Amino acid sequence: MSKRLQVVLPDQEMLEIRRLAKGEQIPVGEWVRRTLREARKRKPATDPETKLRAVRRAAEFAFPTPDIEQMLSEIERGYNA
């Protein structure tokens, strides 16, 4: 289901958005939808504190790991398998 969104903009800002949409040869509505999608993608899914807690928790563990050359070799073998 779709919803309508009304946004009130100053004339100058609307002119600029129209110019940008025209430059991409798309309607203003499509330009706005694309821009909003891009903005949502840039927004982190979780807050920074949650991410930091996860990293700190993971850093408490000490798992054995190979050296970088071995790791890269294993990754490469996985790609070619």
Tens of pLDDT, residue by residue over 54-67, are 999 999 998 888 89
33 CB neighbour count, 10 Å cutoff: 13
From CA 77, how far away is CA 69, in angstroms rounded?
12
Q: What's the token pair of residue 26? A: 């798309």
Q: What's the token pair of residue 78? A: 């996985």
Mean pLDDT for the chain? Answer: 93
Element (DSSP H or E) covering residue 37: helix 28-42
The answer to whether the CB of 28 falls within 8 A of the CB of 17 is yes
Going by pLDDT thresholds of 50, 70 and 90, the confidence category of residue 79 is confident
* The model's pTM: 0.56
Going by pLDDT thresholds of 50, 70 and 90, the confidence category of residue 46 is confident
The pLDDT assigned to 33 comes to: 97
DSSP code of 60?
T
More confident residue, 80 or 74: 74
